[in-house]
């Protein structure tokens, strides 16, 4: 495997993160509950991880600020434009699989 410098690794991870966020913004048809049920994380998880990293470095980001970074707009606006009601089956699957921190 090619040896990467710490800077290269950070830069490549940042590029992959930006691409993931871009992809999730493009795929606004995919609901967060679908992501949770299939992958165990969603846009909100990603925004929480972002906020936790910022806070660990002394940057005080709020939940709303970190969600806007991930969603590309205020969360309430994204919900109004894109969120649909989850089926009872999806809700039941989520409850059965839900990690303790959700």
Q: Which helix (H) or strand (E) holds 97?
A: helix 88-97
Q: Are 90 and 34 in contact (CB under 8 A)?
A: yes
Kindly give the residue spans of alpha helices, DSSP state H, lying in 40-87. Answer: 43-56, 63-71, 75-82
Condensed to tens digits (0 to 9), the pLDDT of residues 12-23 reads: 999 999 999 999
Is the per-residue pLDDT at 102 higher than 70? no
Q: Find tokens 């009872």 and name the residue.
A: 88
CA distances from 20 to 6, 27, 55 (A): 21, 10, 21
User: Has this prediction a pTM greater than 0.75?
Assistant: yes
Q: Give all domains of the chain, ordered by start, each with its CATH number.
A: 6-97 (1.10.3340.10)
**Distance in angstroms (rounded) separating the CA atoms of residues 101 and 59:** 23
Is the per-residue pLDDT at 65 higher than 80? yes
Mean pLDDT along residues 16-44: 96
């Amino acid at each position: 495997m090619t040896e990467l410098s710490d800077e290269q690794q950070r830069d490549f991870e940042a590029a992959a993160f930006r691409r993931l966020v871009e992809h999730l913004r493009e795929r606004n048809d995919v609901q967060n509950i679908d992501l949770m049920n299939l992958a165990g994380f969603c846009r909100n998880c990603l925004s929480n991880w972002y906020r936790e990293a910022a806070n660990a470095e002394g940057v005080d980001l709020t939940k709303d600020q970190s969600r806007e970074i991930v969603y590309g707009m205020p969360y309430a606006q994204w919900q109004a434009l894109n969120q649909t009601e989850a089926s009872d089956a999806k809700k039941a699957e989520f409850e059965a699989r839900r990690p303790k921190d959700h």
